[in-house]
């Protein structure tokens, strides 16, 4: 497959990794953006977001048929910036979202790393978001945490946890493709217990569009495979590999982005500093964590490059 790798250098976390140097003859195109990083971290600043969009358009140019764009952009604190990459595609598509967090909160309504799924769902060409991997407490008491339960009930959002999960709710939502309601509990249909091949077939079989866009936050992975700015999940690369292959065989992958590399948070305002303090535990991986991140990035690129040719972004005639 013809893969073009890009790095949006917001925090320096990717360009310093060994896997970059190992891409001899296929060096990624690096888009400088460290000057914008502090204003885009966790919550997007409108002016800085506009500047980033311009830089992406200048550096990446129009989407080329037959070429699959793979974009790395650092910490999961920047996951909401995948919406800029989604803007490059206007055909009906499904977003396959691999993450330890659902990123579905409706408050505050800003474009931030915890709410970007709702902004993506506002795009006319995004038919559905399928979120795979949540294994933390984000689904507990979703009404109090302003989770977008309505999108799940409407079928626009499907969430697949990676461990048995129950949510306590006060309203009646009924059964959906993501949960079964029993009294005041939502019992989510988790798939972490399934054999990898079966999980991949079930997930891909439920996707109704031909085109899919894949966004991966490595905090969905176990700590042996990634160490990030957030708590880690329970997925493994062995889960992701058959999923990518099934998507490439049965669907048309139009783009892939990857975040979840660790970087020391840099803030220039108290607002973001407070969000970081109250919303997560302090983590600081050492050399072992950075080595794991680099090895996982290399493995993901190897998987993607080996995908069947059906995985390119060229529409069928």
- What CATH number should be reported for the domain holding residue 239? 3.40.800.10
In a domain, 281, yes or no: yes
In a domain, 271, yes or no: yes
pTM, to two decimals: 0.94
Confidence of residue 205 (pLDDT cuts 50, 70, 90): very high
pLDDT at 271: 65
Q: Is the pLDDT of residue 273 over 90?
A: no
In a domain, 316, yes or no: no
Note the pLDDT tens digit of each residue in 227-242: 998 899 999 999 999 9
pLDDT at 285: 75
pLDDT at 219: 97
Q: What is the mean pLDDT of residues 203-218?
A: 97
Confidence of residue 223 (pLDDT cuts 50, 70, 90): very high
In a domain, 90, yes or no: yes
Q: Is the pLDDT of residue 102 over 80?
A: yes
Confidence of residue 269 (pLDDT cuts 50, 70, 90): confident
Instruction: State how far the Cα of 234 lies from the Cα of 238, in Å rounded to an integer.
Output: 11
Helices (H) and strands (E) in the chain, counts: 10, 11
Note the pLDDT tens digit of each residue in 12-46: 999 989 998 878 567 899 999 999 999 999 999 99
Domain range holding 245? 3-311
Number of domains in the chain: 1
Q: Decide: residue 264, CB within 10 A, 0-12 exposed, 13-18 middle, 19+ buried.
A: exposed
Q: Is the pLDDT of residue 153 over 80?
A: yes
Quote the mean pLDDT of the chain. 92
In a domain, 104, yes or no: yes
Q: What count of other Cβ atoms lies within 10 Å of the Cβ of residue 150?
A: 12
In a domain, 83, yes or no: yes
Instruction: State how far the Cα of 116 lies from the Cα of 82, in Å rounded to an integer.
Output: 8
In a domain, 317, yes or no: no
């Amino acid at each position: 497959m013809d893969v073009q790798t890009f790095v949006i250098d917001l925090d320096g976390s990717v360009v310093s990794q060994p896997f970059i140097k190992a891409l001899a003859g296929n060096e990624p195109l690096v888009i400088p953006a460290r000057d914008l990083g502090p204003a885009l971290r966790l919550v997007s600043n409108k002016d800085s977001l506009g500047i980033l969009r311009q830089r992406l358009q200048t550096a990446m140019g129009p989407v080329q048929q037959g070429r699959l764009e793979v974009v790395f952009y650092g910490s999961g604190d920047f996951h909401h910036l995948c919406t800029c990459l989604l803007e490059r595609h206007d055909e009906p598509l499904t977003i396959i979202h691999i993450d330890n967090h659902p990123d579905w909160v409706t408050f505050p309504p800003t474009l931030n790393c915890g709410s970007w799924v709702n902004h993506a769902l506002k795009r006319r060409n995004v038919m559905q978001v399928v979120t795979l991997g949540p294994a933390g407490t984000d689904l507990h008491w979703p009404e109090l945490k302003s989770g977008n339960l309505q999108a799940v009930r409407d079928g626009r959002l499907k969430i697949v946890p990676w461990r048995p999960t129950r949510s306590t709710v006060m309203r009646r939502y009924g059964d959906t493709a993501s949960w079964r309601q029993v009294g005041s509990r939502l019992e989510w249909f988790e798939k972490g217990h399934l054999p990898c091949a079966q999980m991949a077939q079930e997930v891909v079989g439920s996707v109704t569009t031909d085109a899919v866009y894949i966004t991966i936050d490595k905090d969905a992975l176990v700590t042996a495979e990634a160490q990030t700015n957030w708590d880690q999940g329970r997925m493994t690369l062995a889960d992701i590999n058959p999923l990518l292959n099934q998507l490439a065989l049965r669907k048309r992958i139009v783009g892939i982005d990857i975040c979840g590399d660790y970087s020391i948070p840099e803030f220039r305002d108290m607002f973001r500093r407070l969000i970081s303090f109250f919303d997560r535990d302090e983590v600081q991986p050492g050399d072992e964590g950075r080595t794991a991140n680099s090895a996982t990035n290399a493995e993901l690129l190897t998987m993607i490059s080996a995908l069947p040719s059906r995985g390119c972004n060229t529409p069928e005639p």
